[in-house]
Structures are given as structure tokens and as C-alpha cells.
Structure 1
Amino acid sequence: MRKNKVQHKQGFIQGIKSSRALYLLLLPSFIIFLLFTYYPMYGVIIAFKDFSPAQGILGSPWVGFKNFIQYFNSYQFWPTIRNTIVISLYTIVITFPLPVFLALMCNQIRARRFKKFFQVSTYLPHFISTVVMCGMIILFLSPSTGIIAKLAELFGFTLPNLMGSASAFPSIYVWTEAWQHVGWDSMRPYMREQMRLVHEKGTPVMRPYFYDYPEDKKAWEVEDSYLFGTDFLVAPVLEAGAREREVYLPKGEVWIDVWTGEERNGGETITVSAPLEKIPVFAKKESEYLEIFDNFS
């Protein structure tokens, strides 16, 4: 048994050494993950302290649940709870059906150029930062200099001061949230389906060929490509300077190059172009998610 443990340890170390380049690539992501996910948790202890900037987090005295008790007994407790519940329910009611409706509407567009424009213009707001978004809201809704106010004046209307109205805040918050994310959310049905499979069956999203094609002997030998969910095959470039690579396509499927639309029969090894800006990706012919790549082709 001791011998097996030693062999296992040596094999583990050897595996790390042989893949050290990949672990080195992973290191920045790991460091960022620690710094921005776990390190900030250190600040949570402020809630249990009588925090003083001069003394710092660790130097401030512990007060237990004093801050929580003070909040629960304050006049602001119930209004903040009510506002949180109202805005949360309002957000769910508006933002849950809109992506579904948008995806169905987009699916019915037949003009390819307009469809691309529609998809890009609806999901690009997702990448706008919160700070910039707040600035845009002020730019749009300002009663004196806002774009909407100026347009209203052209038609003889006066826009009310929405930015100064407390009752208008929930609607401004929810509808700007919907505008920013509705397009992006409509593009994620495939990942939702894959996450459902992870939850219900434990099926990994990224998996080797043999997981789905155990009868294909060649699938057991492939180590440089993987399946991404049920419909896609991804073949990343692992050699420096390579602009093409060989890809094995599993048997029993007809595969489509998502960038060129070219059909390929499974069970064969092909050579595909691999420019810097595009990773070789193939989809099953019957996949309903091929249009995901329409924006980039």
C-alpha cells in the first residue's frame, strides 16, 4: 500500500511537471480569483466591530451583534426591507420574460444582416460599466439637459423631473437593468440548458470525447480537444505560432464548422484553419444553437 501511495504521489508530481505550461497559464486567473473573491471577505468582519478608520479593521473593538440590533430597531428597517422586496419582485416580473420574448422575436428575423445588427445592438449594453450606465441615465433623463427632455420639448411636452422623484426610482432602476441585460440574457439559453444537466445529472459542461462517445475507440485517444456541452466541439490551439491544426470529429454525427458552415462527417480527422481571432469550433448539424455564432462570423 505504501508503494502504491508513493507511485501515486510521483505520478501526480510528474503530471504537474509535464503540464507546467498550462498551470502557468492558469496562475494569473487563480491569483485574480483569490484577490477579488476571497480576499474581500476579510472586510465582512466590520459588521461585528465598532469600526474606526484610525484603528483599522483588526484594531477596532469587537461589538458582536450590536450593529445588527441597532439596524433592526431603527426606523429605516421596514422601509428598506419593503423597498428591497418590491424592487426584487418588480425586477423578476420584468426581466424574466423579456429575454425569452426577445430570443423568440430574434429567431423569426429572416434578414441575416438585420438579425446580426439586432443581436449585437441588444447585447452590447451588457458590457457597459455601472458607472458609465449611471452617467447615461442622467444624460437621458435630466429634466434640463437630457436627450429625452429635449425631444419632448420639440413636441410641446415638458418632461417631469424623474431623477428627483422617489416614486420613479423603482421603474428607472428596473427598466434600465432590463435594457442593459435583456439582450445578453436572451443569448444564454444554451448555457442554461447545460447548467440544468449539471444540476440534474452531474454532466460536466467541458468533457472529453469519450464521455458522450464511449463506443468510438478514437475518442478515447483525443486529449487536445473537448466537448462543450451537448452540441459543441472545441479544438483550441496549443502550439505557439500554429495557424492550423488537426481535429478528430467523433463518429455518429454530422459536424458543422461554425465559422464557415462547412459540413463534415464524424469519424474522420481533418485539418482546419486556426487564425488568432478564431478557435476551431464545430456544432452538431441538428443543433438549434448554431445562430449563437452568427454575430461573429
Structure 2
Amino acid sequence: MTDKLLSIRNLSVKYKLRDYTINALEDISLDLNTGSSLGVAGETGSGKSTLALAIMKLLPKYAEMKGKIIYYDKNLLELKEEEFRKIRGSKISLVFQEPSATLNPVMSIKEHFLELFKTHIPEISEEEAIERASKLLEETGVPGARLRDYPHMLSGGMKQRVSIALALALNPDLLVADEPTTALDVLIEAQILELFKKLKRERNFTLMLITHNLGVLAETVEEILILYAGKIAEYGKIDKVFNEPLHPYTKLLLESVPSIQENKKLSYIPGSPPDLANPPKGCRFHPRCPFAFDKCKIIEPELKKVNDRFVACHLYYE
């Protein structure tokens, strides 16, 4: 039996700027069960990072958020910041794309851990906090002796390992990783992904891995959510979606991924993502879609169950 850890219902996020409004996310619904893993993919600007920041309630002040984010029957969007601070980092944690978003350059690695533990576990002794920090570093592939170092003394891959150790320090139920390997070279990227898989096996936390690189997700997660221009295009088990994609955007996205195992010509998605301050009527993908017909240009498709997954495309429910 699986327990529902996090449920998102009809989540919409708008960035209200002085002269215009950006519809960053619209009507997003998904479920995360305890111990499950979900990949979130899409082009730059699809809303992936906005989704991560919405879950963490770290959106800028000019963002307007509607809908529900339910964590164990509690709507996180209704909590005051003081209440949510007890959840952020301890129950739901985030690994940023850039370690600099986590690591303060004027603080040693030890000081980062001490501040974290003292904030959430005031009664902890400094000795115990340092011991825990050292074990966490070792667990993520960083020698415990690096506690005395400052961020500038670490390589990019080492900084990201420290960020992961900090994110897991309080044993969260859910770890959200937002493009955690984008700034790393291919070899270090592979090592960090192996680390995520190892830690998930050992700790059994729920993982949401956000990336624009579909190859990263293939062996890492169980389910995948494809975002396009702030809306869900397709959502289901990753093997089903990868082997038999239904949404035209998913198909084109997969065909544009290079492979060393197949001798195939790479395709590309024509055109550019829409302006989210003024999205097109109907399906947001129709200006780029090779299968679009008149209905696609007028009526926005609903996200509906089609066989073994959810898809938002008129081709499947005429």
C-alpha cells in the first residue's frame, strides 16, 4: 500500500510585473507517493523551476499563486511563513541548480551545518552537530575533513555534494532537485546522478528531479511529467512515456535527444516556445505542432486519462 505524501491540485502561478503578467504555471495537478520518484522535464521556460519554488514557497513577492499543495492533509499554501519554515528543509528540502544559492561564501562548511542544526534542533550540542555533519559529508562522497573548508576551496561537483548533504541533513520526506547537474561536466553529472540513486535506495525519500535533459531521467525516476509553456503535456510511468509517447511535444522532445546506441538523425522542434505573457489561444503547442488541426487553434485541450497515462491533446479524444 502506498501513502500519498504530496498532492498538487490546480496549481497556477502568475508573475505580475509592472507592464505585463507572465502565466508561468497553469492548472498543474500531480501526486507523489511516499518513496516514489518523479522527473519533471521540458524546455527552458516551461515552468519547471517555478514548480520547485512553489512547492518550497520561495517564489518572489510579485508571484501570485492559486490552487493547493497538500502535504499529509495540510495545505501548504495556507500556512504562514513561520509555520512553513518548520517544514522547509526538515520535511521538504530543495537542491538548487547552483550551489551558490545554498552556500554562503563567507561561511565554512561546518558553519553551514551548525546553523542548520541549531535552527531546527535547538537542543543539539555542537559536538553532535559536527559529528552528524561529518557523517553526511562522507555519505555524499565528501571527506569529513572538508568541514573546515570554505565554498571557494571546493570544486563544482564537490560543492553540489555538500548542497545535497545539507538538503538531507534533517532526513526530509521529499527532496526536490532543480537541475542539480546542469552546471557540471558530463563525468561529474553522472557521478551526482549515481549519488542521488544511491541515497534514495538507502534513505527511501521521495524524489522530484527537475531537468531539461531527458537522458538524465531514464534510469533515475519511475514517473515523468512533461511541461510545455506552463502546462502539463503528458504525465505517466517513464517507461511507457519514453517507449510510446502520445503528445506530439513529447515525441519531438524524445527525438531530439542524442543517443550513442542508435544511428539516427537528430530532429528538432521547429519554432520557439510561446510568450507566456501572451500565450496563443487553444493548445499552446499548436503553432509548432506538425499534427495541429483547426480545433487545436481554438480550444485548449484538457488533461485526460488515455490508457496508461494522462495527456493533453485533441488527437486522443475527438
More strand by share: 2
Report the TM-score when normalising by structure 1: 0.25
TM-score (norm. length: structure 2): 0.23
User: More helix by proportion, 1 or 2?
Assistant: 1
